[in-house]
Amino acid sequence: MLTRKSKYGLKALLVLAQEADRGPVLISELADRQHLPKKFLEAILLELKRAGLLHSKKGKGGGYVLGRKPTDITVGQVIRVLEGPLALTPCVSQTAYRRCDECPDEQACGERLAMKEVRDATARILDNTTLAGLNAQVARACTPTLDGGRGPRPRRKKSVAI
């Protein structure tokens, strides 16, 4: 399950991705725009800065900016920085592998095989979802439709006359 830490970090990074051409954004602005607790957000942004995903500028005109282009930062990278490995069990982790104590034969372990599939599918999605791509998806979902609604219309089942 995604923790508040990762949710808040992603929310802040998505704003910074939207504002990438504008320059540094203050923590207070990020917190206000996304309705996030400022102190907690400060700790999260510091962690992301240490990992190189953010840069900060002090003084007048200061704040946070992305450390790379929004097309070069993936959701998978962010979650790994803030949460650690994506794998649900250590025996399938690519970044923090550890053999399970109770498993005599990893190759014949059904649990491990299932968790590896989960890890691979999760990584494939998260590592191919960039901040820029996610913002584009949100923009498409929030674009007014011709009928005044938002986003794509739900498909209606065709009625069949009997």
Q: Please report, for the domain that includes residue 17, its CATH number.
A: 1.10.10.10
Q: Report CA-CA distances (Å) from 132 to 63, 102, 108, 135.
A: 20, 42, 41, 5
Query: For residue 35, what are the domain limits?
Result: 4-134
Q: Whole-model pTM?
A: 0.83
Is residue 19 within 8 Å of 25, Cβ to Cβ? yes
User: Does the residue 50 lie in any domain?
Assistant: yes
User: Does the residue 35 lie in any domain?
Assistant: yes
Hey, CA dihedral for 3, 9, 15, 21, is it positive or negative?
negative
Phi, psi of 71 (to 5 degrees): -80, -10
User: Does the residue 88 lie in any domain?
Assistant: yes
What digits encode the pLDDT tens for the residues 77-136?
A: 999 999 999 999 999 998 889 998 888 888 889 999 999 999 999 999 999 999 999 999
User: Does the residue 100 lie in any domain?
Assistant: yes
- The domain total for the chain is 1
| H or E element, residue 66 | strand 63-66
User: Can you tell me the mean pLDDT for 128-148?
Assistant: 87
Close Cβ partners of 140 (under 8 Å, ≥ 6 residues apart): 151, 152
User: Does the residue 152 lie in any domain?
Assistant: no
User: Does the residue 161 lie in any domain?
Assistant: no
Q: Which residue's entry shows tokens 């998978």?
A: 76
What digits encode the pLDDT tens for the residues 113-128?
A: 999 999 999 999 999 9
pLDDT band, very low/low/confident/very high, at 149 (cuts 50, 70, 90): low
Specify the range with the lowest mean pLDDT, choosing from 20-24, 28-32, 33-37, 155-159. Answer: 155-159
